[in-house]
Copies of this chain bind each other. A is one copy, B any other.
Amino acid sequence: MGWMSDETGLEKCAANYVPLSPLSGLKRAAKIFPDRLALVDGEIRRTYREYHARCSQLASGLVELGVKPGDVVAALLPNTPAACEAHFGVPACGAVLNAINIRLDVATVTYIFEHGEAKVVLVDSAFLGLAEAVCAAMSTPAPKLIEVAAPEAGHPASGRHQTYEELLAQGDPAFEWIMPQDEWESIALNYTSGTTGQPKGVVYHHRGAYLNAMGQVLSWRMTLHPVYLTIVPLFHCNGWCHTWMMPMVGGTIVCCRDITAPAIFDAIANEGVTHFGGAPIVLNMLVNAPEDQRRGFDHVVEVFTAGAPPAPATLAKIEPMGFHITQVYGLTEVYGPATECLWDDTRWSALEGHDRAAIKARQGVAMPFMDDITVLNDKMQQITMDGAADGEIMIRGNAVMKGYLKNPKATKEAFEGGYFHSGDIAIQHPDSYVQITDRAKDIIVSGGENISSVEVEGVLMHHPAVNLAAVVAKPDEKWGEIPCAFVELLDGQAAEEKEVISFAREQLAGFKTPKKVVFGELPKTSTGKIQKFALRERAKSL
């Protein structure tokens, strides 16, 4: 190892070692560009000086409420300024931010409040009913609710709780932040969506949040002073760490409470948005927007999309509109994005249409802050990179979670063999680019043959009338399982089950071809991910 023969006096000290934390970025921004625009939300326009002061007031106010370092402070907030401020103000008093999905049901949020032991919850007035119901249902002491009133969104303060602005008003804008003494200290707690059993509490540390945010700057072709639109919910892997990234690059966050095509186009045209992340459904929303909702712009908007590969038809339409699309891939356990489909113009600049989409459908390669992302077989051996052999995506690096809260058994299993086991099944192309063939649990096993639901969906997505397709297993007496397709059609389009099945059959083996096609809107999570578990339930009862 690289220890010299005499290292006397070369130990860490206050001058040369400072624990990594994304908090440092906002401290620096407030000092070196205090008058730059940090945050926009409708009429609200806050500079870095103001943003920093409000985060300090929040931290100070929380301390006044009795919050101690290591305590959990939860949030039930849409993408509002308060949600952004919580990302700095909560850890600035040493606490751990637990941003909770606002679309969850009472039972699940009750589990999260109890399991996470939140002392305080910042709750938007629109979700106060949920929070109050949860508090009433809890078998452990309920947290104190601080109400973030949203009168401009039709949700004025209820009058039943201390408000966020009252809390800030009594806070000290010069409060000295409680910085981590060890970069392994916890900064955030994020519950997985819990496809099997109860959700698991994923714990992030300051080091990972810093390195992920800093490293994504490189991946996202970002230079100083970007303008970032919050489409990814801040309760989803802390908005992929982007709120923590912005002060590092002196960027402006534009809040977006309701994700609609006009809101996005307006933000691009009026605020000069340069970057946003979002599920493919957001891309579809943009390409399908009627002319009168669209706005023109001259620059290129860099978009990270995740959750599913962008469909060829969507790509073909959205890129000429001025959006540069990069697929990224990750999970709650890895702070959001971990891979990127890095576009290599030395190899692919001439590709168009389906060939271009075929490359962009890959999940790609490790982002700079990850040590290794690869695909291993069940003996933990590297698969052949031939685009055919498959295995499980394995992730190692500094933006992998600390583990699952109060669940050392699940943590140990997840980290077996020195990698985080993603649960996603993938191939690797000869250039090492990873491509997901299926979620382990989404694989359909029919007559002993594995069917990749992603492959079948990819074929259906090429049908001219199809907007979105999801394929799940339907129990079958003879075959065990058969593929069943749920299809959302484009506005004004129509299709017949038989015709869709024969369209699929032209490109798929018989056993892979859906035996049943159901038309209608697909159930989605708040982030636009299709809820396959709900479809599986429906398929069962068909």
Give the B-binding residues of A (Cβ under 8 A): 1-18, 20, 24-25, 28, 31-33, 35-36, 69-70, 72, 91, 94-96, 117, 178, 180-182, 184-187, 189, 203, 206, 208, 211, 214-215, 217-218, 221-224, 248-249, 342, 344, 346-347, 365-366, 368, 371, 395-398, 400-409, 411-412, 414-415, 418-420, 432
Given contacts A15-B415, A223-B223, A412-B9, whether A2 and B403 have CB atoms under 8 Å apart is no
Given contacts A418-B14, A420-B16, whether A6 and B218 have CB atoms under 8 Å apart is no
CB<8 Å pairs between A and B, sample of 12: A1-B182, A4-B96, A6-B405, A8-B408, A9-B404, A10-B403, A10-B405, A14-B415, A15-B414, A16-B401, A218-B224, A218-B249
Residues of B within 8 Å of A222, CB to CB, are: 223
Q: Which chain B residue shows the least CB distance to A69?
A: B1
Q: What is the bound-complex CA distance between A37 and B12, given in angstroms?
A: 38
Give the number of copies in the complex.
2
Contact present for A12 and B94 (CB under 8 Å): no
Contact present for B366 and A10 (CB under 8 Å): no
Contact present for A342 and B411 (CB under 8 Å): no
Residues of B within 8 Å of A117, CB to CB, are: 5
Residues of B within 8 Å of A396, CB to CB, are: 14-16, 18
Contact present for A16 and B402 (CB under 8 Å): yes
Contact present for B432 and A9 (CB under 8 Å): no
Contact present for B32 and A366 (CB under 8 Å): yes
Residues of B within 8 Å of A33, CB to CB, are: 342, 344
Contact present for B32 and A2 (CB under 8 Å): no
Q: Which chain B residue shows the least CB distance to A17?
A: B398
Residues of B within 8 Å of A365, CB to CB, are: 28, 31-32
Contact present for A20 and B398 (CB under 8 Å): yes
Residues of B within 8 Å of A418, CB to CB, are: 13-15
Which of B25, B408, B432 contacts A368, CB < 8 Å? Answer: B25
Q: Which chain B residue shows the least CB distance to A371?
A: B18
Write the nearest CB–CB distance from A245 to chain B, whole angstroms: 10
Contact present for B221 and A223 (CB under 8 Å): yes
Residues of B within 8 Å of A420, CB to CB, are: 15-16
Residues of B within 8 Å of A2, CB to CB, are: 69-70, 91, 94-96, 180, 185-187, 206
Q: What is the bound-complex CA distance between A189 and B366, given in angstroms?
A: 31
Write the nearest CB–CB distance from A120 to chain B, whole angstroms: 15
Write the nearest CB–CB distance from A403 to chain B, whole angstroms: 4
Residues of B within 8 Å of A400, CB to CB, are: 15-16
Q: Which chain B residue shows the least CB distance to A418?
A: B14
Which of B12, B368, B405 contacts A28, CB < 8 Å? Answer: B368
Across the A-B interface, give the 5 residue pairs with the lowest CB-CB distance, nearest first: A9-B408, A2-B185, A14-B418, A16-B400, A10-B402
Q: Which chain B residue shows the least CB distance to A15?
A: B415
Residues of B within 8 Å of A3, CB to CB, are: 69-70, 185-186
Write the nearest CB–CB distance from A21 to chain B, whole angstroms: 9
Q: Which chain B residue shows the least CB distance to A374?
A: B31
Write the nearest CB–CB distance from A416 to chain B, whole angstroms: 9
Write the nearest CB–CB distance from A11 to chain B, whole angstroms: 8
Write the nearest CB–CB distance from A338 to chain B, whole angstroms: 12
Residues of B within 8 Å of A7, CB to CB, are: 186, 203, 402
Q: Which chain B residue shows the least CB distance to A32?
A: B365
Q: Which chain B residue shows the least CB distance to A343?
A: B224
Which of B36, B96, B217 contacts A218, CB < 8 Å? Answer: B217
Q: What is the bound-complex CA distance between A219 and B401, given in angstroms?
A: 28
Contact present for B214 and A215 (CB under 8 Å): yes
